């Protein structure tokens, strides 16, 4: 273990870009006394369209940087990396590593655990890579093999979110195109937002789902579920409700200037400083 990776060090969080900031936002809320180091591998974004070997290589490189920076635990704040690289990262570093898929699967299974009158269906929205990995169906089946999972890739959601188009006629029309056949055919009892960008569109997704089904469908996303799982893993105390200024360093592998404005929107607070790092080689 890196000698700096001791209790009291920051918690490392990484993603290919900005989506993982929705997870960081939840971590800051649930663990306000902790410090965080976030790395967005923006020079190689997106990871959702890349193959498993490439995602594993990128993920291990970032994870080793986080451990070398003194992090005492790592959160893989990317569904694609969680699907393809979790075991590779755990094998490469000697600090606890948590993904964003398992905690959501646990929460969904728990929410649908009451004896059903009929089959219980779960719909998953994700990137092409996450959907192709079948990580959510496997994670859910490992907890409750009676759950029936249906998936739909939604590749246009990520650019919409990054452009700030999270509500209005255009995102609503695109959401309806993705959701209509998935929901009408399967009438799910739960809907998983299986990409860390998608919570930024939760209002329009919920509204479109309600219009299609004629009822509300519970949405599940990575942020709060992962924060709860990390707190349990680390034995963290209950959140202290006294106000604390967020303590997170942000690092990217491409232009910090391009990251600043988007980061502020994702975190819901001003971001003044983003550091550039070089992870090439």
Residues 148, 66 within the same domain: no
Residue 230 lies in a domain: yes
Report the domain count for the chain: 2
Least confident of 44-48, 143-147, 245-249, 270-274: 245-249
Residues 241, 138 within the same domain: no
Taking 60 as the threshold, does the pLDDT of residue 244 lie above it? no
Q: With bands split at pLDDT 50, 70 and 90, how would you rate the model's confidence at 4?
A: very low
pLDDT of residue 2: 46
Residue 241 lies in a domain: yes
Q: With bands split at pLDDT 50, 70 and 90, how would you rate the model's confidence at 181?
A: very high
Calculate the alpha carbon distances from 53 to 28, 87, 151 in Å.
Answer: 31, 12, 23
Write the pLDDT tens digit of every residue in 130-176.
Answer: 999 999 999 999 999 999 999 999 999 999 999 999 999 999 999 99
Residues 49, 138 within the same domain: no
Write the pLDDT tens digit of every residue in 200-236.
Answer: 999 999 999 999 999 999 999 999 999 999 999 988 6
Catalytic residue among 78, 106, 182, 225: 78
Domain-terminating residue out of 222, 243, 263? 222
Please state, rounded to an integer, the average pLDDT across all residues of the chain. Answer: 91
Residues 259, 187 within the same domain: no
Determine the Cα–Cα distance for residues 133 and 256; give it in Å rounded to an integer.
31
Residues 218, 108 within the same domain: yes
Taking 90 as the threshold, does the pLDDT of residue 250 lie above it? yes
Residue 53 lies in a domain: yes
Write the pLDDT tens digit of every residue in 226-239.
Answer: 999 999 998 866 55
Residues 109, 218 within the same domain: yes
Taking 70 as the threshold, does the pLDDT of residue 9 lie above it? yes
Taking 70 as the threshold, does the pLDDT of residue 7 lie above it? no
Smallest CA-to-CA distance from 143 within 101, 82, 173, 183 is with 101
Residues 116, 204 within the same domain: yes
Residues 62, 134 within the same domain: no
Determine the Cα–Cα distance for residues 175 and 158; give it in Å rounded to an integer.
12
Write the pLDDT tens digit of every residue in 85-107.
Answer: 999 999 999 999 999 999 999 99
Residue 1 lies in a domain: no
Residues 121, 189 within the same domain: yes
Catalytic (active site) residue 195: yes
Q: Please state the rounded mean pLDDT for residues 191-197.
A: 97
Q: Please state the rounded mean pLDDT for residues 272-280.
A: 91
Residue 34 lies in a domain: yes
Determine the Cα–Cα distance for residues 39 and 185; give it in Å rounded to an integer.
39
Catalytic residue among 63, 195, 229, 263: 195
pLDDT of residue 242: 46
Residues 93, 228 within the same domain: yes
Residue 6 lies in a domain: no
SS3 234: helix
**CATH value at residue 66:** 3.40.50.1860
Residues 159, 66 within the same domain: no
Determine the Cα–Cα distance for residues 90 and 96; give it in Å rounded to an integer.
8
Domain-terminating residue out of 180, 200, 222? 222
DSSP assignment of 161-224: HHTT--SSHHHHHHHHHHHHHHHHHH--SEEEEESTTGGGGHHHHHHHHHHHHSS---EE-HHH
Q: With bands split at pLDDT 50, 70 and 90, how would you rate the model's confidence at 245?
A: low
Residues 197, 261 within the same domain: no
Full-model pTM: 0.91
Residue 249 lies in a domain: yes
Q: With bands split at pLDDT 50, 70 and 90, how would you rate the model's confidence at 3?
A: very low
Residue 82 lies in a domain: yes
Determine the Cα–Cα distance for residues 207 and 179; give it in Å rounded to an integer.
11
Domain hosting 244: range is 11-99+224-276
Structure tokens at 188: 């799910």
């Amino acid at each position: 273990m890196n000698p700096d990776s001791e209790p009291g060090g920051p918690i490392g969080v990484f993603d290919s870009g900005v989506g993982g900031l929705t997870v960081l936002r939840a971590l800051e809320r649930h663990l306000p006394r902790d410090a965080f180091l976030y790395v967005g591998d923006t020079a190689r974004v997106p990871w959702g369209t890349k193959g498993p070997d490439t995602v594993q290589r990128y993920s291990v490189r970032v994870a080793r940087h986080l451990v070398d920076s003194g992090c005492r635990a790592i959160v893989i704040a990317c569904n694609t990396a969680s699907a393809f690289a979790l075991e590779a990262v755990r094998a490469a570093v000697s600090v606890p590593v948590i993904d964003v898929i398992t905690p959501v699967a646990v929460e969904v299974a728990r929410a649908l655990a009451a004896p059903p009158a009929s089959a219980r269906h779960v719909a998953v929205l994700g990137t092409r890579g996450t959907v192709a990995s079948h990580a959510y169906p496997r994670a859910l089946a490992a907890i409750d093999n009676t759950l029936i999972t249906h998936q739909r890739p939604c590749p246009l959601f990520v650019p919409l979110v990054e452009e700030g188009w999270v509500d209005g006629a255009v995102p609503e029309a695109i959401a309806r195109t993705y959701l209509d056949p998935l929901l009408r055919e399967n009438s799910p009892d739960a809907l998983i937002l299986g990409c860390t960008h998608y919570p930024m569109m939760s209002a329009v997704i919920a509204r479109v789902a309600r219009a299609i089904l004629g009822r509300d469908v519970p949405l599940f996303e990575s942020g709060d579920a992962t924060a709860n799982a990390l707190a349990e893993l680390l034995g963290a105390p209950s959140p202290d409700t006294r106000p604390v200024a967020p303590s997170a360093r942000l690092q990217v592998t491409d232009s910090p200037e391009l990251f600043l404005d988007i980061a502020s929107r994702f975190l819901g607070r001003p971001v003044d400083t983003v550091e550039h790092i070089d992870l090439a080689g």
